[in-house]
Amino acid sequence: MASSSSNSKTSSKVFVSFREENIGNNFVTHLYAALNHAGIYYFDIQRREKDEGNLMITVPKMIEESDLAIIIFSENNAYSRLCLEEVVKIMECKKQKDLKVFPVFYRVELGRVSGLKGSYRTGIEYFQKKLNKDVRKLMRWKDALQEAGSLSGWDLDD
Q: Catalytic residue numbers?
A: 86
> Could you give the CA distance from residue 92 to residue 100 in angstroms, rounded to a whole number?
11
> Could you give the CA distance from residue 14 to residue 1 in angstroms, rounded to a whole number?
25
- CB crowding 83-105: b at 16 or more within 10 Å, else e: bbbbbbbbbbbbeeeebebebbb
Burial of residue 53 (CB within 10 Å: 0-12, 13-18, 19+) is exposed
